[in-house]
Amino acid sequence: MRLKKRNKKILLSLLCVFSIPTIVCGQENTIQIDSTNYKTYIRSLPAFTMYGDNYFITGTSTEADAFSAEGSDGKFEIGFKQRLTNHNILWDMIPYFTYRQKAFWDIYKESFPFRETNYNPSFKMTKYFVDEEGVDAELWFGFEHESNGRDEENSRSWNFFSVEYFRFFNSQTAFRAKAWLPVGDISDNDDILSYRGIFSLGITYSPSQRWYFDIDAQPAWGKQLQGNIKAGISFKVSKRSNQFLYLQYFGGYSEDLIDYDKSVSNIRLGIAFKDLFLNFKQRNN
């Protein structure tokens, strides 16, 4: 009888881990990460997992061409990461290959052309900081490439080193910051830092397991203060799923690479699959 109960608990834990990539899986079946078991836990997870939120949204500009085929589109982002090894590396860091792809799809025009697609592969090393309540912070060091895969005058590409810091204050609030430094030739877009800046700051507030509020600011200084702001509201469709209704606003420069020097203001609605892995400490709500 004890063996059956134990197997049931193991099965529930596995279902929890593989169905929703987060340490939050309900009070009875929560896997508590602490300083004694977090390495084992992370290495027991699938090596290939989602990286960042994946979503498909559609909407329109809030400016003069709003609600027209010219000013409306679809936008989607996908991402994954691959853990490269389970062996200990300097400072107990974990190496990952990560990939993000963002596309802008003119679904309201004839033949549904893709206006722009941006590719962002990278190699990153990750350090997790753990206390008695779980993962307290993360530090990511990366070498990244970003381009739009086009040539000649439409080519946009650059390489950069990045540092990302995530801090999880409690079960409701998470802070993130990222900074980057370009390396190599950026002649395709030599003024990109004037519109994209060199850092971004963001915060997520989650009053319950069904609501998430995100805001990210990315200031830049050219002839004037530029950069962009992205804000999102996510509502989980079902408590047992990882599907969210997602409303996103983007205002400012550099939403895509091809027109990084043009300011836009877009609002879009759709569906998202959130990357909640290690994003919040133990929740009781």
Catalytic residue at 145? yes
Which of the residues 13, 61, 145, 162 is marked catalytic?
A: 145
Tokens of 221: 């200084």
Catalytic residue at 147? yes
Three-class SS state of 149 = coil
* Structural contact between residues 77 and 55, judged by C-beta atoms closer than 8 angstroms: yes
Which of the residues 122, 147, 171, 194 is marked catalytic?
A: 147
- Residues acting as catalytic residues: 145, 147
